[in-house]
Amino acid sequence: MSLIKVLGIDLGKSTFHLVGHDHSGREQLRRKFNRKQLLQFLVKHEPVTIAMESCGGSHWLARKLVSFGHQVKLIPPQYVKPYVKTNKNDFIDADAIAEAATRPSMRFVSIKTEEAQVIAVIQRIRASYIKERTACMSRIGAILLEFGMSFPRGHSQMKQLFQWLAEHKASISPMLMLELVEHHEYYTHLNTLIQKQDKKLTELVSKDERAQLLKTIPGVGDLTASRCLSDISNAQDFKNGRHMASWLGLVPHQHSTGGKSTLLGISKRGNKSLRTLFIHGARALMSRPELASKCFGEWLVNLRARKPYNVAVVALANKLARISWSVMVTKQPFKITV
């Protein structure tokens, strides 16, 4: 029987530092591997608990190690930091990971499937296209401003760029017009790429039962449902809907002392992208008062009357997140009960 109870691995791009603890928490192993050596070592090692930080490449490696028969625990990096002793280096980090994994109150991250990671890749590429499209639009506006033309903001205006130039009888040299035409073609191409990414996400959502259940919630569409698929591996990682809303940063930030509770604005911790989508969904729902009142009744009406608009939007986003948790756990569609 091996003396090793848990192996902590500090992940790198090409080097991996491994520290093993026995059942009493004492260090019994300290090794450095490249990727190939690490896999060769662990495939021969008897089944053991392996802990890593949840970061780039960790989910792929976790799936690989599970196939070897090991039990894998992924820890959020912020929960490992308190266990780092003295100065920081890779072996100290691996030691902290191994120690953190043995704490009874530690929280772990479920391992993502390959499909969930692919959805995340599609979303990441889509976001990069949107960022570049905004930059492209801003560049065109800045170029025109250099030549005394204040072009209106917005994608609807950008699509009619040359019509706007003709209506304002802009005097533009052939060389400048060539640059504008090429850059506008690039802007149009980015629009096409974004539409392709949207189509991919729509197809993936249409084939997933859990995503279709999420779409029964008012304010949750293809983007939010697909983001839930990619970012929430297992909804049962959260004890209840409030814990998931807290993970999204949609609950008040607390600063309490001396028995006096002080609640501030939302914490904005955790998953920024999913939090943003829930807030956008809540804002879209608030723009349709009849539907919002039908779904959430007097609670939303009274909230809107008492609180500023944006506060009510965030409160509704919090409720949408809690409902999403319930739908994913119970695997039942959302039903209007008011």
Q: What is the pLDDT of residue 332?
A: 92
Say if 109 falls within a structural domain.
no
Instruction: Write out pLDDT tens, residues 45-70.
Output: 999 999 999 988 999 999 999 999 99
One domain, residues 214 and 287: yes
Q: Which residues contact 138 (CB under 8 A, 6 or more apart)?
A: none
Name the percent of the chain lying above pLDDT 90: 64
Judge if 243 and 311 occupy the same domain.
yes
In the listed set 101, 122, 152, which residue is the last one of a domain according to the structure? 101
Alpha-carbon distance 248 to 272, whole Å? 7
Looking at the domain assignment, is residue 337 inside a domain?
no
Decide which of 161, 178, 206 is a domain's last residue: 206
| Weakest-pLDDT range from 221-230, 247-256, 270-279, 305-314 | 247-256
Q: Which residues pair with 75 in a beta bridge?
A: 53
Instruction: Answer yes or no: is 106 within a domain.
Output: no
- Among 52, 80, 101, the domain-final residue is 101
Residues 215 and 311 in one domain: yes
**186 versus 338: which is more confidently predicted?**
186
Instruction: Assess whether 191 and 169 both reside in one domain.
Output: yes
Long-range CB pairs of 149-152, under 8 A, 24+ apart, other chains included:
none
Domain check: are 287 and 309 in the same one?
Answer: yes
- CA atoms lying within 13 Å on the CB side of residue 288: 11
> Which domain range does residue 119 map to?
114-206
Kindly state the average pLDDT of the residues 19-25. 91
Residue type for position 87: N
Could you report the per-residue pLDDT of 134-179, keeping only the tens digit for each?
Answer: 999 999 999 999 988 888 888 888 988 988 888 888 788 889 999 9
